[in-house]
Structure 1
Amino acid sequence: MQLEQKNVLLGISGGIAAYKTPDLVRKFIAQGANVRVVMTDSAKEFVSPLALQAVSGNKISNSLLDEDAEAAMGHIELARWADIFVIAPATANIMAKLTHGLADDLLTTLALATKAPIAIAPAMNQQMWAAPATTENLQKLQHRGVLQIGPASGEQACGDIGYGRMSEPEDIVTFIANYLAGQTNNEEISNEQINHPPSLFAGKKILITAGPTREALDPVRYISNHSSGKMGYAIAEAAQKMGAEVTLVSGPVSISPPANIELISVISAQEMHDAVMAHIQTQDIFIGCAAVADFRLTDIPTHKVKKKAGLLTLSFEQNPDILKTVAALSNPPFTLGFAAETHDVEAYAKGKLERKKLNMIAANDVSSSDLGFNSDRNALTVITKNNTISLPAASKYALAIELLKLLNNEYSANQNNKKSK
């Protein structure tokens, strides 16, 4: 069980999505977690405390000053008890309170009193989610290290369609399990243990690029980068297990390809470009995960360049921009790009998203040897036109699952927008 003996403190605020929380509690317990629940007064209008007590096996907490708690300081007891504090649903009101450090009830007081990581699963009307105030609050919470799960896109209780639906209970539990597995030094969750929504991409064709490219300097030497291809290969494997027909265009790597996918091996950026363009017209989704060289030698010598005294001057020209070319097609597939940066990661990624007219971009910081290039682990900041979502450090395969779920939400919304025009 992924959450064996982990103490999960679940905070429930007053949104219609609170009706999902008994199921959320059950799923946490099924993974071995100990669960205690704290509710706001408004949450009790949407879900029964008795139902939550029955499924959790623990008394439900609501009062800031509980006479039954040790020294009537129940909030301190709970704050110390928790390994992680999950707030689901997290309404716009709760997010605003957390941002500004308000503590006018038990839930918000716990958020200030605990040293445990805090994860929020936002749930609200799509217009409230898109409001500038909510966006600013979310950015401040993320800056403080608050984890974000969702929201998902779809039809809402009010009849609107868009982002704001609380993530499904199984997705929340998987996210927390992956986070806690990454936070501790326990053995990583195996690929087989991770929840794959098996039909998420049924009938969809996905083309993925992975790995580095090599640009020849002469018949013997080349320039390249540190990309191992592990992230792109993880995405390819996960997408195939989630029902997609996957084509993987890979630069030179030392890892075996996933089963049941079409692998196209290339060396240079030009070869990768040509392979992508030869297959792109039939694809629904394009994921550009490869670390493609921006430049190549203008004229490649036909013989090995010999050592000479003095400086060696080389002339370079730009390689074709695969992401930009795909996104500029007259009928482009849904396009997700990657941005590997060493500083100002989010700013550079947003610029790339806008400049290349992508649907999504996943940015990662490769300045540390612990994450990114050559590592088995990664962390991503996923950016769309209206949202910025942080996926905390986890195995690349677990991260691929979470990224593909976000991609599916964006892809579905994109398709719905096309149909409505």
Structure 2
Amino acid sequence: MAADDNEFTLDLSDLDKWVGKPVVFAELWEPCSATDIRRWAMAMDNPNPIHWDQNFAKESQFGGIVAPQSFAVAMDYGHGCHPAGVGHIENSHLIFGGEEWWFYGNHIYPGDKLTQSRRFDGYDLKQTGFAGPTVFSRGDTEHRNQDGVLIARERATAIRYNRDEANKRGAYGTEKASPKLWSKEELDEVRKLRYDWILSNREGKSPAYGDVKVGDKLPRRVVGPHTVVTFVTEYRAFTQNMWGSWHWNVPEGMVDPATQKAGFAEDMSYDYEARKVDPHLGDGLYHGPSSGHVNLEKASKVGMGGMYGYGASMNAWHVDYIAYWAGHNGFIWHSKTQFRSPAFEGDITYMDGEVVEKIDRSPYGCPVVKVEVRMTTQTGETILTGFAEVQLPY
């Protein structure tokens, strides 16, 4: 494999046969509980009390604990990644590249159980400075509850690349292995900003559509500093990551491409048979492609330079941030994010939002405001850009 982009290639022949095909027939065993919702809110650092405080939630219009809209991804096996990552690419690795969500006016409550239908939409091959030839593949997931009610549709983008080529290029340098150490004074500033954001709309009051103006700024939010502790907390909030929480459910006579080998190196692969005895061998904190998030040695082998956070968490921060501003009577109908970089250990993430458009006649049957969001680190590096279209009361 030559260093020149024009000479280095990826064999993508195995991807073509899966384009447009259904994938990942796996589902969770049980409905969600109020504590599952609380665990998610805690892991995403979402202090909105309707998601964790029983007394507060009882007095709200919801009459009890209700899940944030971002929670739909936690009730899925693979959080949208698996239908985007099918097909074999030798010596490859995968990171998340972005998410697009459409919601349908329905909330998730304790006792709900979501089931999914999924398909591999296709892929594009692009040249990147990160890894040379890089695959941007798309997977679609539809989420319905136990009554067949449509909750959400998601399109996830996965980024797949040759790990040796990414290591050779070293886009994320070795400085990522030495995370920033924060002084007490710096941490005090971070905590104050976080607390001010919590107080900005803890009661859940929704701004009126007529009062909102293009150019209005959302209060700044901060998450972090990111650590191994926060990464593990996020990982364990995804229900699929609890031992024995899901099962394969492939219809008779069909083949699920997500059960085929994707081309990950042996040190980044699950052993599904062995995990029946030792669940560590099917647990992404110990084995599998997710283990590089919390294992510095493994992260350095897949071109990441240091331990890093989860794309699905970044998208949840985005959705939760806008929903907090929109209040109890607000609703996000459409959201789209593009991930520019992971959240690395030692960094913090700032979120800044702005109303950029008011749409009196939207495709959702109601007026909406369009809010753009940018996430940056303490050095000003942009790690996510996104927007959401949000309904507000008159």
* TM-score, reference length from structure 2: 0.26
Larger radius of gyration between Structure 1 and Structure 2:
1
